[in-house]
């Protein structure tokens, strides 16, 4: 098997119904339902104007500053896919700009997660296709390879396999493994219900705050105020 320079098919991908269900959920609540230990890193910030993202992952591993495999991934994308690129976080050269963005919109791509830089920022804001990237630079990319498509990649310790669910909003990006989708969804819905109950209690002034003093006591905190 070739290592570092290959294009593979996806064996499976999250279905449209599941994508639609998760699209309604805040990333923070999904994250809480995954033990708060998974994240694509705080440097990946929204480059679009507003809105959330949800879709099935096409994964790309590329040489820093090189977008040959990203071009191919856009060619391969099915409507609703999110293209996730591990380019090492290097910001020297942009991975994509206005022209690639326009082509991706034409292809029906649902969003991008780029561990690297973009350019033509105004186009990303105006088009408003969900795009999360690590930075911005005017310097363009190379197109020489090597790279890989549809292999398991890692962004800041969070692994993304081809076909996994990828979601994003103003709080950042999160991948939900294909095999854990139903478990995570059920846990997130329970989290949503608990938060709605808590918000109602806050609004009505009936929320129980006794847990704060209990936690402080358990932590050995000495309260000298009273």
The tens digit of pLDDT for each residue in 153-166 reads 999 999 999 999 99
pLDDT tens digit sequence for 117-141: 999 999 999 999 999 999 999 999 9
Sign of the CA dihedral running 112, 34, 176, 92? positive
pLDDT at 226: 74
Cα–Cα distances (Å) from 149 to 3, 95, 145, in that order, read 11, 15, 11
Binding residues for substrate: 97-100, 119
pLDDT digits (tens, 9 = 90+) for 69-108: 999 999 999 999 999 999 999 999 999 999 999 999 999 9
Can you tell me the mean pLDDT for 56-81?
98
Structure confidence at residue 127 (pLDDT) = 98
Binding residues: 97-100, 119-120
- Give tens-digit pLDDT for 174-214: 999 999 999 999 999 999 999 999 999 999 999 999 999 99
Please count the other Cβ atoms lying within 10 Å of the Cβ belonging to residue 104.
23
Q: Tell me, what's the pLDDT at 2?
A: 78
Over 90: is that where the pLDDT of 58 sits? yes
- Contact criterion met (CB below 8 Å) for 38 and 173: no
**Is the distance from CB of 81 to CB of 53 less than 8 angstroms?**
no
Q: Which residues are known binding-site members for Mg(2+)?
A: 120
pLDDT of residue 1: 65
How many CB atoms sit inside 10 A of residue 31's CB? Answer: 21
What is the CATH code of the structural domain delimited by 5-178? 3.50.30.40
Confidence of residue 19 (pLDDT cuts 50, 70, 90): very high
Delimit the domains of the chain by residue range.
5-178, 186-218
Backbone angles phi, psi at 6, to 5 degrees: -155, 155
pLDDT of residue 3: 86
């Amino acid at each position: 098997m070739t290592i570092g320079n290959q294009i593979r098919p996806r064996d499976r991908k999250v279905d449209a119904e599941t994508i639609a269900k998760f699209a309604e959920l805040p990333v923070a609540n999904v994250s809480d339902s995954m033990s708060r230990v998974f994240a694509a890193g705080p440097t990946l910030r929204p480059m679009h104007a507003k809105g959330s993202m949800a879709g099935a992952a096409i994964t790309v591993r590329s040489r820093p500053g090189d977008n040959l495999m990203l071009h191919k991934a856009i060619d391969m994308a099915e409507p609703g896919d999110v293209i996730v690129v591990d380019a090492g976080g290097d910001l020297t050269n942009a991975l994509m700009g206005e022209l690639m963005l326009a082509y991706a919109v034409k292809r029906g791509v649902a969003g991008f997660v780029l561990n690297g830089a973009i350019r033509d920022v105004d186009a990303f804001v105006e088009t408003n296709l969900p795009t999360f990237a690590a930075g911005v630079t005017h310097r363009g990319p190379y197109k020489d390879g090597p790279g890989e498509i549809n292999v398991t990649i890692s962004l800041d310790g969070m692994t993304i396999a081809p076909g996994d669910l990828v979601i994003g909003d103003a709080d950042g990006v999160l991948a939900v493994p294909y095999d854990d989708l139903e478990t995570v969804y059920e846990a997130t819905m329970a989290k949503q219900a608990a938060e709605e109950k808590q918000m109602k209690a806050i609004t009505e002034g009936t929320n129980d705050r006794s847990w704060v003093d209990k936690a402080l006591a358990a932590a050995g905190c000495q309260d000298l105020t009273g």
